[in-house]
Structure 1
Amino acid sequence: MSSSSGLASATIMGYFLRLLQLFSTCLAFSLVATTGTWRETIGNWSMFIWCFCFVVTLLTFIVELCGLQFLWPFSWDDFLINYASYSTLLCLSASIIYPTTYLQIVPRGSSWNHAIAATAFSCLASVTYATEVAWIYAWPSQITCYVLPMPGLLKGLENFVACVIFGFISNTSLYLHQPALMWCVAAYSICLFLGAVALLLYLRGYSNKLPICFPIFLLGLALFSIFLYASALILWLLYQFDKNFGGQPQRSNDVSCRHHHLVCIWDQRLVVAILTVINLLIYVADLVYWARWVFIRD
């Protein structure tokens, strides 16, 4: 009886969080869409985050409401906590990037008020997704989640930082003029794709069906990703900031920075470089973890 009561309360809690998530993400992108303060690359990224979270959360809500979880090929609990974890990070990034980019350039008035409100609802979405993560983790169940252990946390951070990088390089003028910079984008894409594949292999239960041991596979993946990110970092720094390679070493030389934009093109280049360093360090930590697991654990 107590078990049934607990399940009922868990379902009610899940519906309540889901409705809050739908409400906050819907209002965030609706407020921004009505003001037109998103028609730049960074704004596009924030709008994509809110729309993506709204659509996936709506589909999740419909599946749970209709009891169709059995049609999902993976563990439903694992999907929920992984999705909630990524949505927390994505909405948090939008809550930081959007106001940082637009509140300084939008004139005071209705548009400014809408941008403030959209930021507040984005923060609310981050809180509700984070609450769902904490609630699922605290609920006594047989969750074998890939996000919560250390390797899963590292993989989640790698994918999250990569998504933020793509938010900044959505401005194609940063790299389309130079093949070396296009290689950097390819390196980010390959690493994100392989990270998603590793996650799906785990969730689908295929981690033990690979021709090699899964930890060895992840060790090789981390090593390969380090090579890609190291090459991307070197090329990005050379071709974006070295004058000998056509880069702009000083912010004042960038014409876009002379306009009243808080985050100009030069700033975007710098942010991508910083995020590349951060992700490279995360991959190094990932490599160290799996190297210890493979070579020292026994």
Structure 2
Amino acid sequence: MPVIVLEARDFTSPLFLMRTWEVLSGCTTFSLVASLGPSELNTNQSEHQHLNTFKIFCMFIWCFFFTLTLFIHILSVIQFHSLIPISWKNLTMTVAVLGALMSVSASVVFPWIVMNRQEVSPRAVAAAVASSLTFMAYTSESCVLRTQAQEQRGYMGSMPGLLKTLQLWGGCQMIPLVVELVNGPRNGVHNWQLWVSGVSYGVCVLMSLVTLAVIIGDFAGRCLLPFDRFLAGFSLIGVLLYMVATVICFTKILQLRDITQSSTSIPNKSAELVIVETVVASITLLAYTVDLAFSIKLLCDRSHT
């Protein structure tokens, strides 16, 4: 099959311009951050390990989505994607929406890192601005793809598909938070709480990745169970696991509050991390709950037909 290159008018299409914007702003962001020294990110050596975890998290987001978007951009230009045995419409929608969610996380986390300093480097400010522009680019692409017909945007452009992307985003946010809570001071938080929460988040991230692999790879027809029951089962497991994790999060907040009232030496960082974990866990639990309701409705509709 011959390779077909886009026509001249295609180089001014909204999708082409937005993906070019994503590639350029993403490359600018991680290049600026990579050029920053440790002294430009933390105020003292004791905070270096704490901030380094979140710097690695942000760098992974920018580099991963830059690479993935560049791959999609090149395949779109040479029209080679039709030869790849995947669902292209589901892949592009997933990358656009997940890229927007992960970019906004990096755009919030990275300024929080650099604001630990009294004097902020100009390159750090430029990197934060470039990260925000990357978020805007992915958001714009998501909106453009959402305006297309259902046949063009695929399952991941529907409400259940967007909820599954939100679930994966929530699980990814938990990775650096759990790492910091494990490596940092416990402050009354029990080991079993960290282990149960970490296992719950890990299982849910694995289920989300399996679901995306099945949808993007067009493997739904090869599943041993009907795909709608497969999704409903994953949603139910996610609701149960995140209910447990959310209860543990609120328990940790109460523990930290009691310890703070009896001692003034509790670091604010631990309390901030637990609060962020609780908020993200609650949002993800809501996403799983709504997704489970969609799955049950779909099963009931099919049982009556």
| TM-score, normalising length: structure 1 | 0.82
1:124 matched to 2:155? The reply is no
CA drift of 1:65 comes to 4.4
CA drift of 1:8 comes to 4.9
CA drift of 1:286 comes to 1.3
Query: Which of 209, 216, 224 is residue 237 of structure 2 equivalent to?
Result: 224
CA drift of 1:53 comes to 1.5
1:9 matched to 2:9? The reply is yes
Contact 2:90 2:157 in 1 (8 A): no
Query: Which of 284, 290, 293 is residue 295 of structure 2 equivalent to?
Result: 290
Of stretches 61-70 and 265-274 in structure 1, the one that deviates more from structure 2 is 61-70
Distance across 1 between alignment mates of 2:164 and 2:105: 17
Corresponding letter in the other structure for 2:9: S
Q: Secondary structure at the match of 2:90?
A: helix
1:105 matched to 2:116? The reply is yes
May I ask how many residue pairs the two structures share in their alignment?
283
Gap regions ≥5 residues in structure 1: 259-263
Contact 1:254 1:265 in 2 (8 A): no
Distance across 2 between alignment mates of 1:180 and 1:141: 42
Q: 2:215 is matched with which residue?
A: 202
| TM-score, normalising length: structure 2 | 0.80
Query: Which of 95, 101, 122 is residue 107 of structure 2 equivalent to?
Result: 95
Q: Secondary structure at the match of 1:105?
A: coil
Contact 1:187 1:228 in 2 (8 A): yes
Overall identity of the aligned pairs, in %: 25
Query: Which of 46, 58, 62 is residue 70 of structure 2 equivalent to?
Result: 58
CA drift of 1:60 comes to 2.7
CA drift of 1:79 comes to 1.3
Q: Secondary structure at the match of 1:40?
A: helix
1:267 matched to 2:272? The reply is yes
Corresponding letter in the other structure for 1:59: F
Q: Deviations over 1:93-128 (max 9, x none)?
A: 1112221x134322325x1x2222111111111111
Q: Secondary structure at the match of 2:219?
A: coil
CA drift of 1:159 comes to 1.1
Q: 1:68 to 1:180 in 2, by over 3 A?
A: same
Q: 2:283 is matched with which residue?
A: 278
Q: Secondary structure at the match of 1:212?
A: coil
Distance across 2 between alignment mates of 1:227 and 1:212: 21
Contact 2:220 2:227 in 1 (8 A): yes
Corresponding letter in the other structure for 2:119: R
Distance across 1 between alignment mates of 2:158 and 2:149: 17
Corresponding letter in the other structure for 1:232: A
CA drift of 1:7 comes to 6.3
Query: Which of 267, 287, 305 is residue 257 of structure 1 equivalent to?
Result: 267
Distance across 2 between alignment mates of 1:202 and 1:40: 34
CA drift of 1:80 comes to 1.5
Gap regions ≥5 residues in structure 2: 43-50
Distance across 2 between alignment mates of 1:254 and 1:142: 58
1:81 matched to 2:90? The reply is no
Distance across 1 between alignment mates of 2:266 and 2:36: 23
Q: 1:249 to 1:29 in 2, by over 3 A?
A: farther
